[in-house]
Amino acid sequence: IALAQSKEIQTYAQNDHANNKDTIHQLFDTILKSHPDFIAILFVTKDGRILKTGMDEEMVTSTDMMAQEWYKEAILKSNTPIIKSTKNNSNQVVISISQEIKGEDGQHLGVIRLDVDYQELEKYVKVRWIRWFLKITLFIRVPLETVIGS
């Protein structure tokens, strides 16, 4: 996730007195508004501070988010985004993408998670598949001589 490299997020995570919380919320809001298939963004620092944007009532948060499986797995996989499907409180299937946030010196700062609407993602994949299928179908139906210019 590109947000994992954000200097604003790293600064907030490294300093519990950082005054850029509003800036990060604005960044998250902008991302959600420009990508309607993104449902929520959650950032949990290593000391337990939580920033979340989106359907707040839909995203389950606990008093110890660092004990959540998605948080622990993101740390284990470190530089590799973790992609999982899950259901939110409304029983809506979402695809969660989580990744560890690290400082410039490689120290653990927290984990960021992006929830994507599964139905929107499924529609996107179906449209792409239909376009691919139509291209192949047209290719097969066009005489080979037309394609290779004999």
Do 4 and 112 contact (CB within 8 A), yes or no?
A: yes
- Which value, to the nearest 10 degrees, does the dihedral of the CA atoms of residues 36, 8, 15, 112 take? 40
Residue with tokens 């790293």: 10
Do 1 and 114 contact (CB within 8 A), yes or no?
A: yes
pLDDT for position 102: 92
Query: In this predicted model, what pLDDT tens digit does every residue of 76-114 receive, in sequence order?
Result: 998 889 988 887 767 778 888 899 999 889 999 999 999
Name the strand (E) or helix (H) holding 59.
none
* Each residue's pLDDT expressed in tens, for the chain with a length of 150 residues: 677 788 888 888 888 777 888 889 899 999 999 988 888 899 999 988 888 887 554 455 556 788 888 899 999 998 889 988 887 767 778 888 899 999 889 999 999 999 888 877 777 777 777 777 666 666 565 554 554 554
pLDDT for position 138: 63
- The three-class DSSP label of residue 6 is coil
CA dist 53 and 92 (Å) reads 17
pLDDT for position 1: 61
Do 18 and 43 contact (CB within 8 A), yes or no?
A: no
- The three-class DSSP label of residue 74 is helix
First to last CA, the chain: 48
> What is the CB neighbour count within 10 angstroms for residue 66?
15
pLDDT for position 75: 93
pLDDT for position 52: 86
Do 96 and 83 contact (CB within 8 A), yes or no?
A: yes
- The three-class DSSP label of residue 88 is coil
Distances (CA, A) of 128 to 63, 115, 125, 135: 41, 21, 5, 11
